[in-house]
Structure 1
Amino acid sequence: MGYDFDFASVLGAWPQFLEGAWLTIQLSFPATVIGFVMGTLCAIGRRSSVRWLSQACGAYVEVIRNTPLLVQVFLVFFGLATLGWKVPAFTAALVALVINVAAYSCEIMRAGMDSIHKGQLEAAECLGLTRRQVYWHVILRPAMEKVYPALTSQFVLLMLATSITSQISVEELTAIAARVQSETFRPFEAYILVAVAYLGLSLLMRLGLWLFGLAVFTRKRRLAAAGGARA
């Protein structure tokens, strides 16, 4: 049984796909930044000697990591409306994505912090560094550098997960594909185009995060330069 591909009608809706891609980026970028900051603070809280704070952060992480993102999106969207806070679907989606990625970032960063050898902390204290300086120079930055590949993968997964927000009528790429296929009756072509768009966004995001890593982590940049020189 043959199938005649017809991308002409689908490609004719390229302005809509472009708007959907832009909305996907608008969801992904702030959710990545805010979620990472929240996750890092949560990781610090999980390692805290204050028992209630550590337990509260641990409970938050376990709840988020063991429930589907779609359910979390629904809980935020309908929960806020039930409480009388009528927020746009975009805002509810962004809040849900931040809550989700923060929990995963917390565990990734906590693993990085736990990998820092105690001898390094003792050496920093002997040098007279303040607690804030120790956390920034000896714990946070080295920890982030160690787990940066895992963070990069998690942030790309977050961008792909924005497709779930189409369930609350957020007009991102997947929602646009659903609309276009209902108008053109070419679902296969529409979703092939969206798959290619997501692939392109993923590659661009990985490239951007790689360049950011080279700019922030000077040791990584020196190693990359040394590897290029040997080649």
Structure 2
Amino acid sequence: MDYAFDFASLLPYAGIMAKGLMETAIYAALSILFGLMMGTGCALTLVYASKAWRRLVRCYVEFFRNTPSLVQLFLIYFGLPVIGLHLSPPVAGVIALSLYCGAYMTEILRAGLISLPRGLTEAGEALGLPRRHIISHVLALPALQNIFPALASQMVLTLIGTSLISQIGVEEIFHSGSFVESRTFRSFEIYMVICGLYFFAVSLMKVLLRIVWYRFQARR
């Protein structure tokens, strides 16, 4: 039997899909922001902190880099209530994505710091700068230049990874698309639309990151 494509039947649900796209952007932005904050703190800990703190951070990084992100999500949303910690689906989703993103950003940022020549740190020390000023004023920009492509790639992967949180009922693109599919039974059409929306979101993020990169280069 020939299959007749009917994308027009999805038009009444355009508002639902648009809302899902906006929700995806919000969850991705929050996860990237929190992941970057966690990654920065953990990377500095791995490079400059005591051995005990480094071991603690290493356990976090290895756990979240070597276990499936879907299992991590279920552990946070379905597992934490066992010990009395109940989280709403959006909160649990953002926490899971942030922890996952932060683990990878930790390694990326750590690589940026250790890739710099020792002479930069020694120059800051020779000027009598405290360590926090050496990191922020001397090391931050050169390190960021070395790792920006890897950092941007991880941000894109985090955006794509928001599809996982639909599994706990968070209303993002994939969840909205699944709802529409259950009403229209146009599986091929709706999943093509979902792919198109993710492609649009990722392309827009890449444009924004490219603008940031060019401005960063101009500043340097």
TM-score bucket of the superposed structures, by smaller chain: over 0.9
Task: Give 1:59 shift.
Answer: 1.2
Residue in structure 2 matched with residue 57 of structure 1 by the alignment: 57
Structure 2: gaps of 5 or more residues: none
Residue in structure 1 matched with residue 20 of structure 2 by the alignment: 20
Q: Which structure 2 residues correspond to residues 177-216 of structure 1 after superposition, within 5 A?
A: 177-215=177-215
Deviates more, 1:147-156 or 1:73-82: 73-82
Question: Structure 1-normalised TM-score?
Answer: 0.91
Letter in 2 for 1:122: E
Residue in structure 2 matched with residue 9 of structure 1 by the alignment: 9
Number of aligned positions between the proteins: 220
DSSP-derived class of the 2:48 partner: coil
Identity %: 39
Task: Give 1:138 shift.
Answer: 2.0
Question: Structure 2-normalised TM-score?
Answer: 0.95
Residue in structure 1 matched with residue 174 of structure 2 by the alignment: 174
Residue in structure 2 matched with residue 152 of structure 1 by the alignment: 152
Task: Give 1:127 shift.
Answer: 2.1
Residue in structure 1 matched with residue 114 of structure 2 by the alignment: 114
Cα 1:49–1:32 shift into 2, 3 Å: closer
Residue in structure 2 matched with residue 221 of structure 1 by the alignment: 218
DSSP-derived class of the 2:128 partner: coil
DSSP-derived class of the 2:62 partner: helix
Aligned residues: CA RMSD: 1.4
Task: Give 1:80 shift.
Answer: 2.5
Task: Give 1:132 shift.
Answer: 1.3
Residues 7-54 of structure 1: per-residue CA shift (max 9 Å, x gap): 011232100001111110110001111110110110111113511111
Residue in structure 1 matched with residue 164 of structure 2 by the alignment: 164
> Segments of 4+ in structure 1 off by > 3 A?
none
Q: Structure 2 CA distance, aligned partners of 1:7 and 1:14?
A: 11
Q: Structure 1 CA distance, aligned partners of 2:11 and 2:145?
A: 41
Q: Structure 2 CA distance, aligned partners of 1:71 and 1:113?
A: 31
Structure 1: gaps of 5 or more residues: 224-231
- 1:103 aligned onto 2:100: no
Residues 136-175 of structure 1: per-residue CA shift (max 9 Å, x gap): 1222232122101111110011010000111101111001
